[in-house]
Structure 1
């Protein structure tokens, strides 16, 4: 049996729990997959339109959390009006293959609850 968190560590300090807390919400993986499939950094509006069913408030909060986790980079250009681009960091890119695998598994096993 694999142990993902050491028994001596409180659950609050378990990296596995932290990752699943972050990517297990409704939007995080979808945002990361969308950024990962983009050929270049995406602007906020472009990201919002691509995902579609996400509110601006939730998109903003999720992007902020992903930035704080070091998974998404936010580049602000000193223009009028300001231009802001979002892209995956190297750390975010390293998570992408695992998200693709999870997405493939979901498409294979969860369509119509097979």
Structure 2
């Protein structure tokens, strides 16, 4: 089979939705916690900057992977959760976690 017969578009589209340093991490935490506020996500992710987290969340929301729910109150309250499309990605994330569990070196640390 030569490269002209391979349709890379489905793969490229899927990767475009999750590429970036933090998107998969965000999806992981929303998968495990279902609903998280901005501050909870920032704390869970560790050293992510405000600008980067905001950018990654906006991208995931625009792509229909997560849902942003804003409550009209002071101070502002915003919650994030996986959309139906985002939840449909979780078997992939689960398989990735299972692979990692099976192959992680004993001396590996974050």
Same fold? TM cut 0.5 = yes
Answer yes or no: is the 8 Å Cα contact 1:76–1:84 preserved in 2. Answer: yes
Q: Which runs of 5+ in 1 are unaligned?
A: none
Answer yes or no: is the 8 Å Cα contact 1:33–1:100 preserved in 2. Answer: no
Indicate yes or no: 2:93 matched with 1:96: no
Structure 1 vs Structure 2 CA RMSD: 2.4
Secondary structure at the aligned position of 1:57 is classed as helix
Aligned residues: 106
Which of 69, 73, 83 is the aligned partner of 2:67?
73
TM-score normalised by the chain length of structure 1 = 0.79
Distance 1:26 1:99, change over 3 A: same
Q: How does 1:1-114 map to 2 (within 5 A)?
A: 7=5, 14-38=9-33, 40-111=34-105
Instruction: Spell out, residue by residue over 1:13-46, the C-alpha distance to the aligned partner (whole angstroms, 9 max, x if none).
Output: x1211212332432111110100100x4211001
